[in-house]
Amino acid sequence: MHSRDKIRNIAIIAHVDHGKTTLVDKLLQQSGTFRDNEAIQERAMDSNDLERERGITILAKNTAINYKDYLINIVDTPGHADFGGEVERIMKMVDGVLLVVDAFEGCMPQTKFVLRKALEQNLKPIVVLNKIDRPSARPEEVVDEVLDLFIELGATDEQLDFQVVYASALQGTSGNEPTDLASNMQAVYEVIVNHIPAPTESVELPLQFLVTLMDYNEYMGRVAIGRVNRGVIKQGQPVAVMTRDGKIKQARIEKLFGFQGLKRIEIEEAAAGDIIAIAGIREINIGETIADPNNPEALPVLKIDEPTLQMTFLVNNSPFAGREGKWVTSRKLRERLFNELETDVSLRVDETDSPDSFVVSGRGELHLGILIENMRREGFELQVSKPEVITRMIDGQKMEPVERLLIDVPEEHMGTVMESLGSRKAEMVNMINNGTGQVRLEFLIPARGLIGYRTNFLTLTRGYGIMNHAFDSYGPYYGSNVGGRHQGVLVSSETGVSTLYGILSIEDRGLLFLQPGAEIYEGMIVGEHTRDNDIVVNICKEKQVTNIRSANKDDTVRMKTPRLYGLEEALEYLNDDEYCEITPKSIRMRKKYLNKNERERSEKSRKNSEVNA
């Protein structure tokens, strides 16, 4: 067991894509934690498929490296504000943070979000200016930006006196000056051991351990990960589990694990300041305290940011239900959603009057989108409604979530972007033009105004724009006409297979979402109308075969390229009267009422109720 003053517990925090996970890779590789012949994957910390495909960190993960005679426990956290629940809990496990900032991009919305969480916990910060080898890097300006951000967030004098290290995680180089880099990560290790404080908790006091992360293992069941806040914990020891609702349950520690590199190693005991995993306690949840049974004292319950967005998850009842998925019943859907609550503390699941639908609330579109994507890969079929923001009553006033939006665009697109955001009730708070032809615009915008905006934004900027946003605060309700889709849709009148002839006959009515030969059903959305109303179309029409030769030859006919939607784009596109049907192989958009007459009846009764209200 390491002596307490040789342990360092740090979290790596940053805006998404500023290089946290790559930095951890290099720290692991150069520490000698792995054998020379051991194969290590790139971005080794991003362990699940979705993380590797998207190049983002979704779940916080921890690792431990040995440097000289120090043990450095490192927790890699997500950069997206949607996974803020993960970031928030991690801060309870560590004594300091490495704030990784891109030497070109500088401070971004999530940089502010994650740094605020760290400063609130009074953690010691170290700034790592990454990607310093980029030709466009501007280290001096970015250090000034970081300092301004610290001041804006109310950092203490001690926190303002932060150390800065310059690095290129990709190249594995670092140094204390931007122009003087060594071809190793020595400068990063040294700043960690010299400036991050060692754990100060007492080994003598009765045991306290806060469950911060949850894992599941099919052999051992639930695995609770966290930091020993005080005392000593041993294998086989009887403990008291203090639940979130104040109850006390007796349990026994079956197995203890420490961390070494990416592996968990079984240990006999751990003491205050150690980050460990505990197996063998069946019903344990995030935020609960494991304590000494003779002197049970609970640690403060973790405060988690409330969800800001909700969607209804429903059993798939479309004409194609049950064709592609393994799990299609409401019992399975309910079981899966409630299982997710065990490891995701930012999620809420509420049952409705119908046994077939559940209201799921999360931190944003990406948060809920990742859950849906995981479910479809597991073989679930389901339908979801349009995402809606969660409003609150604060001091008798209706309030809604407001996001801070940061946009980088070429100068020539600035006007159109500002105009498009104006109609979504965005308020510009800052504009920086550093003379490179790129402009940075900063807005405060109601979260509703951002739903469905990304596709429109990419079209307006021809793919050259970059947008990032993070939750800022709750502000007064902006009224009912914010955001939303302005175009109507093309709705299929038939069930069958789309034909080239059918598609060509309605191409001038709008933009199609599918190719010829796609299976469709009545009420399915097959395209976007050029106007603001919905129309019913038949794209299953076959050409009448005659023996008269046509003057314009068929082989010269060209079909326009359809717009194919992925999961997140489809969720953003939906209107109030539509669902997105999700199966392991398909993503389809449809009307809630598939039959045209039913849709008309529903619209009529909605208008009548509005008039009466």
Radius of gyration of the chain (CA): 27
Helix axes 414-422 and 453-460, enclosed angle (nearest 10): 150
Q: What angle do CA 458, 461, 466 make, to 5 degrees?
A: 65
20 is in an annotated binding site: yes
Helix axes 109-120 and 139-152, enclosed angle (nearest 10): 50
Distance from the Cα of residue 479 to its chain's centroid: 28
The three-class DSSP label of residue 168 is strand
Q: Do strands 263-267 and 255-260 pair parallel, antiparallel, or not at all (unpaired)?
A: antiparallel
What residues contact residue 130 under an 8 Å CB cut-off, 6+ apart? 14, 18, 19, 23, 100, 101, 102, 103, 167, 168, 169
Cβ atoms 160, 173 nearer than 8 A: no
Residue pointed to by tokens 């956290």: 77
Residue pointed to by tokens 């026994």: 252
Cβ atoms 334, 313 nearer than 8 A: no
C-alpha distance from residue 35 to each of 32, 38, 65 (Å): 7, 5, 13
394 is in an annotated binding site: no
Ramachandran angles phi, psi of 54, nearest 5°: -90, -15
Question: By C-alpha distance, which of 210, 250, 214, 211 is closest to 230?
Answer: 210
Q: What CA–CA distance (Å, rounded) separates 384 from 247?
A: 36
499 is in an annotated binding site: no
Q: What CA–CA distance (Å, rounded) separates 242 from 244?
A: 7
19 is in an annotated binding site: yes
Q: Do strands 96-102 and 124-130 pair parallel, antiparallel, or not at all (unpaired)?
A: parallel
Q: What is the DSSP letter of 253?
A: -
C-alpha distance from residue 374 to each of 174, 243, 353, 520 (Å): 37, 29, 26, 25
18 is in an annotated binding site: yes
What residues contact residue 383 under an 8 Å CB cut-off, 6+ apart? 313, 314, 315, 316, 317, 318, 579, 580, 581, 582, 590
Strand order from edge to edge, sheet including 263-267: 248-252, 238-242, 289-291, 208-217, 221-230, 275-279, 255-260, 263-267
Q: What CA–CA distance (Å, rounded) separates 190 from 542?
A: 73
Strands of 253-327 (E only): list them: 255-260, 263-267, 269-271, 275-279, 289-291, 309-315
21 is in an annotated binding site: yes
Ramachandran angles phi, psi of 453, nearest 5°: -85, -30
Q: Which residues are annotated as part of the binding site?
A: 17-22, 130-133
Q: Which residues are annotated as part of the binding site for GTP?
A: 17-22, 130-133
